[in-house]
Chain A
Amino acid sequence: MSDTNNLVMDLPVPSSLLDIGAQGLIGKPLSRSEGPLKVTGRATYSAEYAIPDLAYGYLVGAKFGRGKITRVDADAVRGLPGVIDVITDFATFIRNPQQGGESKAPAQGVKDVQYFGEIVAIVLAESYEAARDAGERLVVEYEEAEGRFDFEALKADSEKGTFNNIPGYFHQGDLDRAVADAHASVDVVYTTPSQNSAAMEPHASIAVWEEGTLTLYGSYQMPSSDKLQLAKALGVSAKKVRIIAVYIGGGFGSKLGVAPESVAAAVAAKQLGRPIKAVMTRPQVFETTVRRASTEQRVRFSVDAEARLTGVGHETKTSNLPGESFFEPAGVGTHFAYPGDNRVINHDIVRLNLLLAGSMRAPGEASGMMATEAALDELCHKIGLDPIEFWRRNEPKEAPEEKVPWSTRQLLRCMEEGAERFGWDVRNPEPAQVRDGEWLVGMGMAAAVRSNMLMKSAATVSIDPDGRATIATDMTDIGTGTYTILGQIAGELLGLPLDRISVNLGDTNSPPGAGSGGSWGAGSSGSSVYLACERLRERLAAAMGCVPDELTLKDGIATARNRQIALAELVGEGLEATGQIAPGDMETQRKQASYGAHFAEVGVNATTGEVRVRRMLGVFSAGRILNAKTARSQCLGGMTFGIGAALTEDLVHDPRNGKVVNHDLGEYHVPVNADVPQLEVHFLTERDQFANPLQAKGIGELGISGAGAAIGNAVFNATGIRVRDYPITLDKLLDQLPPI
């Protein structure tokens, strides 16, 4: 007997039940509950299910950049030992992954190959090694066609960006005039490269058909919409598809939508009548999943004599495959981060035959703030103003475009607290003044902003007759701590220690959750758990003969009006409730975002130009912090991504065929431990009653936003060299370093 507690966020929630819970779990720095399973190999990832009669699939990618397949010589490999079959369903196979949250199928049809590495066949065998050997030998004949591979050469040929509800073009006032009339201005072009999420677990699916129903064990971040995409691609009812994604070894956006291995495994499993496992190789992850698109960003800022912003321009050119509407929304944070009456924020797409461009951790802000926060540093240097003083003069009282109040905005406090903790006052604003032996030392800072989002999300919470609670939702934990924080929320509201709560995630047979993406996971799925628990508290109060406000729940005991009854006794044959949250008017009546400030100290080797980050510190405000440890870890991870973005990560496409040149972790350089120094993370105390009943906001993508710019600004402070082409590798510094 379940009933549903719905909440549409049309009104603020000024008092949260989390503040009256007695269990004392909220905010605690608890370790991830599934951690021991993961570090002892007992957490079963998608590729690890022991399914009887499983056959192995090896994905075969096109070895050309653009053209039409004329023949696949399957017979030549069918006879190899252990090989079962070669499947080439050109019409059903998907060209590229789907974007996150879409209900449509991804682009289908792979005969007309659009990019190098596009998955065109799957070889099935009794062992992975046999499948791979046959896949390497499989000859795919084709007629090559002319492709569009080179952004530099083709960038003049672009189209305006429009994608879902992200505005591609925005104009207000007269920016050219503002720049012309300005006391001071900057007009600079920054570029960022393509990047890959490089999640530790490669994309993997096991497809099992039973009586016309597909179960897909897949490493996917958003099972409820992934299920719809997969069903559409296969031409079956969504009721006939179940996705199981219990543990996910990192996603960072690359597993938001279904990827080619899922459809290939499902098609092959159906044809063969056996379960099929398809795991991408590391090079395939780099070549056929999702990239963060490269950008070219023209940034303009103009100020009056008091250093107040009069104009903001942020014009981005990016790229994607033909027919894909997603564009890297580099200006998405610019809309609300910076005031100024005269504004131009545009995005154009250049059509290129490169792997799909899609969401990677903080799409928009991550690459956008690398440009805007560096350009702002340029402006501050030009007018001789400390960047924090600049913000003091420019902090907007309301959202500059919508003219609505902030839900909360503590950007300046983040900066001021960060400055004090970091020791910003000792920074010499004059660049290239500090030397430590062979190292030029500098400091930089940058703002961090990231929009907060709430997504429709549902969860069921039940209390068994033995007094244990179970949470069920198809929400995922991609290494972020969902298992832990959902348990904390339910434990707080139901008065149960964590060891009496089971959290069941990642199964589309459970109520549809928000999935993991856009930093909305904790706020959205956490609210659904909150709402289910709120309803259970009402039912428990009724059973106690009191109103919910009189009820205290702690350690499995309900207390009210001088009576104490064990939860197990109180629930009789058990209680169950479903909570469902949905966004409402608060989304538009208040501008909601989380904020932060990054501070970085770098050393630049005066001989070689090698840049090494010496220390970094971030102060963040993101509403209520549900778990101080997992929240901190999110920020550490984001800052580490920032180090990679600033200094090393560069997904290189060969301009002759669009191929990813550095398609492994040996040559695509994510930061290693030695690149990541002491990182400090602090949170401001905050509640955001406009965000959701938890009063919490997104964190996962906040830590990366602006982080790279702080490092780039520190490189400038160390050397006097402004590199506007990320990553800041030593070759871009070499000719401007002091003479040897």
Chain B
Amino acid sequence: MKSFVYEKATSPQDAVRFVGNGAKFIAGGTNLLDLMKLQIETPETLVDISRLNLDRIEDTDAGGLLIGALVPNSDLAADARVRERYEVLSRALLAGASGQLRNKATTGGNLLQRTRCYYFYDTAMACNKRVPGSGCSAIGGYTRILAVLGTSAACIATHPGDMPVAMRALDATIVTLKADGDRRRISIHDFYRLPGDTPHIETGLEPGELITHVELPPPPPGRQLYRKVRDRASYAFALVSVAGVVSVENGIIASACLAFGGLGPMPWRDTSVEALLLGHAPSDALFAQAADALLASAKGQGANDFKIPLTKRTLIASLRELTA
């Protein structure tokens, strides 16, 4: 591990002033510490934000929730309001990691969890995300857990999260404090970046910008579901996951919000798939059509080819459950 300077922030305003020193914020550290030990992340300065007063979940006037960035995953999953009204989020959180990790991992940090691509995690191998311009050894390598949507010639890494997938289905907004003291609200749909030829840039956050909250609008109507398909029953990243909220009125699909994990470099949402469902009666044929639309541009890399038929089957079964 490379030596670093440790700073303890006393307020969000205090935290963001460390900008430009190769500083990184640390809260739960469940991902960052691992990456630092492996020297994948080598910050000059760690700014400890874990004592900031950002660990509450509050009701908003609009009828949603304002979640402090430091709310642990376990607490968020267990919150009665989340369990009652945002079941998809609670289930996604509980599908992730392990009990110990969820106790430490925070809401803000989890949005920034980095890929589990085998080659990103291995400093002996080339990776454009880790060392821009060094090449992608995943392409032509072993790709079981890697992406089939949104990839580029520079990177085929997958976003590993569960919580952010549910948040994409729920149209969350990420609230930040910038280094210059301005606050910013970023729709989760604009938060993540596709790899293109700059896979090391994963979000639209500016240097030193601190996530302070995640705001959820009132839940969309209808049934909620989070289904995660994985290689073992717990403590494994999604091969594919589906976060869905769908309502049926008078036998017709009235609204649908669908997001996917394990498929792309970011929690994936494709509103054209949802549009295809709206106004139709639920049927397997319709669901298959939706799955085909979702996967129209999907590209396997050999060992992850199976994700395409797996996603289709999983989506169809999920839509059946959501519309039953």
With the chains together, A648 CA to B239 CA distance in Å? Answer: 13
Contact B313 A136 (CB under 8 A): no
Residue A659 at the chain B interface, CB threshold 8 Å: yes
Contact B229 A63 (CB under 8 A): no
Chain A interface residue count, CB cutoff 8 Å, equals: 42
Contact B316 A129 (CB under 8 A): no
Which of B3, B123, B231 sits near A730, CB closer than 8 Å? B231
Q: Which of B43-51, B84-92, B137-145 contacts A (4 or more CB under 8 A)?
A: B137-145
Residue A663 at the chain B interface, CB threshold 8 Å: yes
Which of B1, B229, B237, B317 sits near A132, CB closer than 8 Å? B1
Which of B229, B231, B232 sits near A674, CB closer than 8 Å? B232
Q: In this complex, which of A63, A117, A731 has the most chain B Cβ atoms within 10 angstroms of its Cβ?
A: A731
**Within 8 Å CB of A663, what residues of B?**
122
Residue B252 at the chain A interface, CB threshold 8 Å: no
Shortest A151–chain B CB gap in Å is 14
Contact A735 B309 (CB under 8 A): yes
Residue B236 at the chain A interface, CB threshold 8 Å: yes
**Within 8 Å CB of A667, what residues of B?**
116, 118, 145
With the chains together, A546 CA to B306 CA distance in Å? Answer: 77
Contact A438 B118 (CB under 8 A): no
Given the contacts A133-B2, A133-B3, A654-B141, A672 and B306 also touching, CB distance less than 8 Å? no
**Within 8 Å CB of B312, what residues of A?**
740
Which of A132, A666, A674 sits near B116, CB closer than 8 Å? A666
Residue A610 at the chain B interface, CB threshold 8 Å: yes
Q: In this complex, which of A117, A652, A666, A673 has the most chain B Cβ atoms within 10 angstroms of its Cβ?
A: A666
With the chains together, A672 CA to B100 CA distance in Å? Answer: 14
Contact A136 B123 (CB under 8 A): yes
Given the contacts A673-B234, A675-B233, A731 and B122 also touching, CB distance less than 8 Å? no
Contact A661 B233 (CB under 8 A): no
Shortest A282–chain B CB gap in Å is 10
Shortest A359–chain B CB gap in Å is 25
Which of B142, B309, B313, B314 sits near A661, CB closer than 8 Å? B142
Q: Which of A259-291 contact B (CB under 8 A)?
A: 283
With the chains together, A105 CA to B144 CA distance in Å? Answer: 39
Contact B141 A661 (CB under 8 A): yes
Q: Which of B180-235 contact A (CB under 8 A)?
A: 229-235
Residue B310 at the chain A interface, CB threshold 8 Å: yes
Please classify how large the interface on chain B is, using the bins under 10, 10 to 19, 20 to 34, 35 or more: 35 or more
Residue A608 at the chain B interface, CB threshold 8 Å: yes
By beta carbon, the residue of chain A nearest B235 is A672
Residue A103 at the chain B interface, CB threshold 8 Å: no
Residue B39 at the chain A interface, CB threshold 8 Å: yes
Shortest B46–chain A CB gap in Å is 14
Given the contacts A654-B141, A667-B116, A731 and B310 also touching, CB distance less than 8 Å? yes
**Within 8 Å CB of B125, what residues of A?**
659
Given the contacts A607-B314, A654-B142, A661-B118, A731 and B233 also touching, CB distance less than 8 Å? no
Shortest B261–chain A CB gap in Å is 14
Contact B39 A730 (CB under 8 A): no
Interface string of A591-632 (1 = CB under 8 A from B): 000000000000000011110100000000000000000000
**Within 8 Å CB of B231, what residues of A?**
648, 669, 729-730
Contact A730 B239 (CB under 8 A): yes
Which of A136, A607, A731 sits near B39, CB closer than 8 Å? A136
Contact B310 A648 (CB under 8 A): no
Interface string of A655-676 (1 = CB under 8 A from B): 0100101111011010111110
Shortest B128–chain A CB gap in Å is 17
Q: In this complex, which of A81, A652, A667, A675 has the most chain B Cβ atoms within 10 angstroms of its Cβ?
A: A667
Shortest B231–chain A CB gap in Å is 5
Interface string of B96-107 (1 = CB under 8 A from A): 001000000000
Contact B235 A63 (CB under 8 A): no
Residue A560 at the chain B interface, CB threshold 8 Å: no
Interface string of B7-39 (1 = CB under 8 A from A): 000000000000000000000000000000101
Contact A675 B1 (CB under 8 A): no
Contact A734 B310 (CB under 8 A): yes
**Within 8 Å CB of B37, what residues of A?**
132
With the chains together, A129 CA to B42 CA distance in Å? Answer: 12
Which of A61, A438, A662, A730 sits near B317, CB closer than 8 Å? A438
With the chains together, A735 CA to B228 CA distance in Å? Answer: 19
**Within 8 Å CB of B121, what residues of A?**
664
With the chains together, A132 CA to B237 CA distance in Å? Answer: 28
Residue B124 at the chain A interface, CB threshold 8 Å: yes
**Within 8 Å CB of A656, what residues of B?**
140-141
With the chains together, A661 CA to B116 CA distance in Å? Answer: 12
Q: Which of A716-740 contact B (CB under 8 A)?
A: 729-731, 734-735, 737, 740
Q: Which of A649-697 contact B (CB under 8 A)?
A: 652, 654, 656, 659, 661-664, 666-667, 669, 671-675
**Within 8 Å CB of A740, what residues of B?**
284, 312-313, 316-317
Q: In this complex, which of B233, B237, B310 has the most chain A Cβ atoms within 10 angstroms of its Cβ?
A: B233
**Within 8 Å CB of B310, what residues of A?**
608-609, 730-731, 734
**Within 8 Å CB of B3, what residues of A?**
81, 129-130, 133
Contact B313 A607 (CB under 8 A): yes
Interface string of A74-114 (1 = CB under 8 A from B): 00000001000000000000000000000000000000000
Which of B98, B122, B284 sits near A283, CB closer than 8 Å? B122
With the chains together, A663 CA to B234 CA distance in Å? Answer: 19
Given the contacts A283-B122, A661-B142, A731-B306, A675 and B313 also touching, CB distance less than 8 Å? no
With the chains together, A116 CA to B122 CA distance in Å? Answer: 12
With the chains together, A662 CA to B117 CA distance in Å? Answer: 10
Shortest A731–chain B CB gap in Å is 4
Contact B232 A671 (CB under 8 A): yes
Q: Which of B278-321 contact A (CB under 8 A)?
A: 284, 306, 309-310, 312-314, 316-317
With the chains together, A734 CA to B304 CA distance in Å? Answer: 13
**Within 8 Å CB of A610, what residues of B?**
229-230
By beta carbon, the residue of chain A nearest B239 is A730
Which of B124, B229, B236, B237 sits near A608, CB closer than 8 Å? B229
With the chains together, A674 CA to B124 CA distance in Å? Answer: 33
**Within 8 Å CB of A659, what residues of B?**
122, 124-125
11 contacts between A and B (CB under 8 A): A63-B124, A116-B124, A117-B124, A607-B317, A652-B144, A656-B140, A672-B232, A673-B234, A674-B234, A675-B234, A729-B231
Chain A residues close to B by CB (< 8 Å):
61, 63, 81, 116-117, 129-130, 132-133, 136, 283, 438, 607-610, 612, 647-648, 652, 654, 656, 659, 661-664, 666-667, 669, 671-675, 729-731, 734-735, 737, 740
Chain B residues close to A by CB (< 8 Å):
1-3, 37, 39, 98, 116, 118-119, 121-125, 140-142, 144-145, 229-237, 239, 284, 306, 309-310, 312-314, 316-317
Enumerate the 6 nearest inter-chain pairs by beta-carbon distance, A residue then B residue, closest first.
A731-B306, A674-B233, A674-B234, A63-B124, A607-B317, A129-B1
**Additional A-B contacts beyond A607-B316, A731-B310 (19; CB < 8 A):** A116-B124, A607-B314, A607-B317, A608-B313, A609-B310, A647-B232, A648-B231, A652-B142, A656-B140, A659-B122, A661-B119, A661-B141, A666-B237, A667-B118, A671-B232, A672-B233, A730-B229, A734-B313, A740-B312
